[in-house]
Amino acid sequence: MQPNPHTVKDELLKAYPKKTARKRAEQIVVNQRRADGAVPEIRANVRTTPGAITQRGCTYAGCKGVVIGPTRDILSITHGPIGCGFYSWLTRRNQTRPESPQDANYITYCLSTDMQDEQIVFGGEKKLRAAIEEAYALFHPKAIAIFSTCPVGLIGDDVHAVARDMRDRLGINVFGFSCEGYKGVSQSAGHHIANNQLFKHVVGTDETPRPEKFKINLLGEYNIGGDAFVIEDLLERCGITLISTFSGNSTYDAFANSHMADLNTVMCHRSINYVAEMMEKKFGIPWIKVNFVGAEGTAKSLRHIAQYFNDAGLTERVEKVVSEEMTAVLETQFEVRSRCEGKTAMLFVGGSRAHHYQTLFAEMGMKTVAAGYEFAHRDDYEGRRVLPTVKVDADSRNIEELQVVPDETRYQPRKGPGELVQLEAAGLDVRGYQGMMPEMEEGTLVIDDIYHFETERLLEIYKPDIFCAGIKEKYAVQKAGIPCKQLHSYDYGGPYAGFRGAINFYNEIDRMVNTKIWSYVQAPWEAEEELEEAIAS
């Protein structure tokens, strides 16, 4: 029997000082689904209580690591002490595939200005200039991006002035990010900063027309474990042209030309909805939410793209691809269900996967008993319908909001307002995202920015069959006797997107929840006690 979620909530809150408990109570919610589709309000995108062990990362991580990092031919330079660059290097398993061995791929390099005491005291701009010159001489890249770490903001180095200067001097695009780690409450601030600069400095800078008929961008897909390769293959087989992905397996040129697309599809709403909205305002490109995680979601997303373009040939090709793929998916689903049906999962991941991966578990017959994001906002939990009521606090105001207006010459609405209304009437949710909670069962626990203490208590109370989180949580979870699937890096597995990815996921989770290995784990001191008892008797 599942524990009473209200009792569990009280149990978690009991451990905190009064003020913390009061705030925390708004971030731990027992899910309800009201008749009108509304769900309870959750507090999100707020500061972590000092002293709590959070899963969150920093603003720099969200900007450099998440959004720009997967692009292979923008040369990224971390302006800061060496650790920031080093620990954000190659840890996310975002893959890339240059067209030829001669094409640039800088992902394998870790470039940093390696700030020392001298720069902290006397300023780091000189060293940054020298680093850019050196990097240019070595690689001759199309573009160089500079990422600010905490000390850069503290000492006041003007990375943007250096960028402008070097752009003029070198004749390539050089742009900077004020993504100091402390800028926001989490990496989410870094996404926004990255989106703003990409939009300002890169998107729309290449006017080469594209002759293809069904042109889209895929926003918020970062090619972890090869996911983007699977999606690219599906789109190609359907006859859909992918102009640019933001930013898995991406290139600078693709971003620059991305305003030629006629539809933006948004995979990770949290990290990149800003780009979708700005591109619609400036160029007139509408966006829809897609989800290529889960076989059902993949089929639905492809169908929605076809519905948007409203073309019989395209619809037919999509249906053909879906049916070609579904047989193998259903076979594996059937097989794993016999062993996984009824098992329980918990997902505490990022800003979109805690939602998306619930569909894969559901396809296996598994139940998500608790889930939460690390840094998502209320709209990712409750749906975009709550956007007008989201409180803007001082931390959010800290991040620049670009004022975007229709481009004088290039704004061209891809669909007339009547057409969009028609599409919506036919069930296509244009600019919509319903969020995670409306799809979770009543009585499941939703926890924002889960603290490590709570993780340990949940493991004890629920004993789920699998816990999904990241590397920082992994070993604590396994020591509790429960398998932990990393949903950030996929451990060493993947791809998990699309139909092929779903099959990989089913098999992997089947293997993990049906092995007993973690229940044999014993702490050394427990083993010692047993030994002593054995000797004594």
Give, for 217, the enclosing helix (H) or strand (E).
strand 215-221
- Give the other-Cβ count within 10 Å of 470's Cβ: 17
List binders of ligand CFM among 465-504 (CB under 6 A).
488
Q: What string marks each residue from 321 to 340 as x (binds ligand CFM by CB under 6 A) or -?
A: --------------------
Q: What string marks each residue from 41 to 60 as x (binds ligand CFM by CB under 6 A) or -?
A: --------------------
Contact window for ligand CFM (CB under 6 A) among 322-330, 351-359, 418-426, 450-458? 351-359
User: Is 191 an annotated catalytic residue?
Assistant: yes
- The residues, any chain, with a CB within 8 Å of residue 227's CB and separated by 6 or more, are 221, 248, 292, 494, 495, 496, 497, 498, 501
Is residue 68 at the binding interface for ligand CFM, with CB under 6 A as the rule?
A: no
Is residue 350 at the binding interface for ligand CFM, with CB under 6 A as the rule?
A: yes
Structure tokens at 102: 């001669």
Shortest spacing between CB 189 and ligand CFM, in angstroms: 11
28, 44, 58, 66: which one contacts ligand CFM (CB under 6 A)?
66
- Looking at residue 323, its amino acid is S
Position of tokens 């939009």? 199
3-state secondary structure of 482: coil
- 212 burial level (CB within 10 Å; 0-12, 13-18, 19+): middle
Contact window for ligand CFM (CB under 6 A) among 288-296, 321-329, 349-357, 500-508? 349-357
Is residue 368 at the binding interface for ligand CFM, with CB under 6 A as the rule?
A: no
User: Is 534 an annotated catalytic residue?
Assistant: no
- Looking at residue 454, its amino acid is E
Instruction: Please say which residue, 289 or 353, places its beta carbon nearer to ligand CFM.
Output: 353
Task: Give dist(CA 302, CA 81) in Å, integer.
Answer: 44
Instruction: Please say which residue, 214 or 357, places its beta carbon nearer to ligand CFM.
Output: 357
**Of 79, 191, 192, 355, catalytic:** 191
State which residue has the least CB distance to ligand CFM: 350
Is residue 224 at the binding interface for ligand CFM, with CB under 6 A as the rule?
A: yes
Facing residues of 241 across strands? Answer: 215
Is residue 271 at the binding interface for ligand CFM, with CB under 6 A as the rule?
A: yes
Residues in contact with ligand CFM, counted by CB under 6 A, come to a total of 16
Is residue 92 at the binding interface for ligand CFM, with CB under 6 A as the rule?
A: yes
241-247 and 215-221 beta bridge pairing: parallel
Buried-exposed string 488-520: b where 16+ CB fall within 10 A, e elsewhere: bbbbebbbbbbbbbbbbbbebbbebbeeeebee
Residues that bind ligand CFM in the complex, under the rule CB under 6 A? 62, 66, 92, 187, 220, 222, 224, 268, 270-271, 349-353, 488
Catalytic residues: 58, 61, 92, 191
